[in-house]
Homo-oligomer: A and B are copies of this chain.
Amino acid sequence: MGNRSDEISKIVTRAIIHKQLLPGCKLSEQTLADIFSVSRAVVRQALIRLSEDGLVTMERNRGAFVSKPTYREAVEIYDALTILEQGVAAQLSGRLGAQGWAELRHHVELQHKAVEEKNDQLSDQLGSGFHEVLVRLSRNTVIQQMHAQLIRRTALLRSLVSSRFDYCGLLHDHGVLIDLLEQGKIAEAQELIAVHHHNVVKGYLMDDEPQPEIDTREALSRYVSQEA
């Protein structure tokens, strides 16, 4: 689509994923309009796109902010990822051609190098990338898009915490997963996926436990709504 608002939303998405725009950051309409040299109307459209995607939260008369997921949301997102990837894994196992397995192994290889070079930025990217490749091989664009959206939201989570992952362990999981799937051990593969994501979430837990800072507005909403 050749829409200006679409381009802008994609650019801002990239900025958010690359931790240039951090959760909670205000996205002023006029500021963005100046930055992209477009009218406020176009910026609003871009912000709406972003909010539909979950990366941005719009508050009436207050404006748009980069979303700040709660811990609960993090768990839900990884649960959703687990379910999607378990389903895809079951479909792929036994049905994927040699070229598919090769692509997965190649991806693990790439990440292996990134980890060895201690390139955390790249390791991170390739880490998510593996899961994306896995889903892409299912050849189901609907699932692919849902999954991609979830991955974008995990990027939000990563910029919310300064967690240090056990990249080596997570990477090892990827390799084992491929083996299990190729051998048709679906149940074990699915269990591994669940544990894998569970480990990632645990990595978040370290410094972002229950709730970092509570939004007063949200905390009081239930009381305000039933005031006399």
Contacts and interface: CB of A to CB of B under 8 A. Distances in A.
A91 B91 CA distance: 19
Nearest to A145: B54
Contacts of A41: 41, 44
A183 B143 CA distance: 30
**Size band of the interface chain A makes with B:** 20 to 34
A80 interface: yes
Given A1-B60, A52-B52, A52-B53, A80 B44 contact: no
Interface string A72-101: 010011011011101110010000000000
Contacts of A1: 58, 60
B77 A142 contact: yes
A5 B80 contact: no
B76 A83 contact: no
Contacts of A140: 76, 79-80
Contacts of A141: 76
User: How many monomers of this protein are in the complex?
Assistant: 2
A146 interface: yes
A80 B48 contact: no
A73 B142 contact: yes
A80 B141 CA distance: 10
A2 interface: yes
A163 interface: no
A137 B116 CA distance: 44
A216 interface: no
B48 A79 contact: no
A150 to B, nearest CB: 8
Nearest to A52: B52
Nearest to A69: B142
B80 A83 contact: no
A40 B43 CA distance: 16
A84 B84 CA distance: 7
6 contacts: A2-B60, A41-B44, A45-B45, A76-B142, A76-B143, A80-B140
